[in-house]
Amino acid sequence: MRLALFDLDDTLLDGDCSALWNNWMVERGWIASPGEYLARTQAMNAAYHAGRLRLEQYLAFTLSPLVGRHAEEVAIEVAAFVTIRIVPRVFPQGHKLMAHHRRQGDRLLLISSSSQHLVAPVAKQLGIEQVIAVEPALDEGVFTGDTTGVLSYRGGKVTRLEAWLTEHNATASHLSFYSDSKNDLPLLNRVNRPVVVNPDPVLAEIARVEGWERLDWRQEPRPTIQLTRLCHV
């Protein structure tokens, strides 16, 4: 099996799906103190990009508006959110790259540190069947505000990927992984072909030193050059 692994936020998506969802919840009146809530989530997002975030804290805070809500209610809201706010922000180059991997016969997998209730509907819209994301805990179909299992964050992405391969009784003959973040270095170092996309400054420098491929979709709206290179890998 050849696998093409994709991070979501700031990689396939021009933005962060969790941050966009936070704004959506505010607009829908799901947040009691919107100003305070958004200020705190923005501070946490800044900590994430600086590599200082404890994801457990962020998840506990951002899942709290869902506590007591049934998964079906949330799914209906997320479906509208994905259609209106997420789909238009997917990089056109990302669509072309995924199509390229499909033509090559590769299996696509979306692996994200965002929550499953957001990532899975995005993957469905993108035609990606396999998803690894943070698993929110449910009690009889109702969100509890907790998470279950290993968080798909930093080294947790490697752990979750290995578990996925075991679960599917699969051996990957070749792994490609596309990511923007230094937080994904454990998985980038694990795969056969690491590719950085719109990299943060730390990851950009590591990619330069290591000689990794780099795609800058925000600066280059047409990915013809990159796809030509990929065809020869």
Helical H runs in 7-54?
Answer: 17-27, 34-49
Question: Pairing relation of β-strands 142-148 and 130-139?
Answer: antiparallel
Nearest to 122 by CA among 158, 89, 151, 167: 89
Catalytic residue among 9, 10, 180, 200: 9
Helix (H, G, I), strand (E, B) or coil at 224: helix
Rg (CA), the chain: 17
* Token digits of residue 88: 């238009």
Directed axis angle between helix 34-49 and helix 17-27, to 10°?
180
The 10 Å Cβ neighbour count of residue 113 is: 26
Catalytic residue among 7, 106, 180, 184: 7
> Which residues, other chains included, contact 58 with Cβ-Cβ below 8 Å and sequence gap of 6+?
41, 44, 48
Note if 9 is an active site residue.
yes
**Which residue in the block uniquely carries the two structure tokens 């600066």?**
219
Note if 7 is an active site residue.
yes
The 10 Å Cβ neighbour count of residue 166 is: 9
Q: What are the b/e assignments for 72-95, b being 16+ CB within 10 Å?
A: eebeebbeebbeebbeeebbebbe
> Which residues, other chains included, contact 167 with Cβ-Cβ below 8 Å and sequence gap of 6+?
none
Active site residues: 7, 9
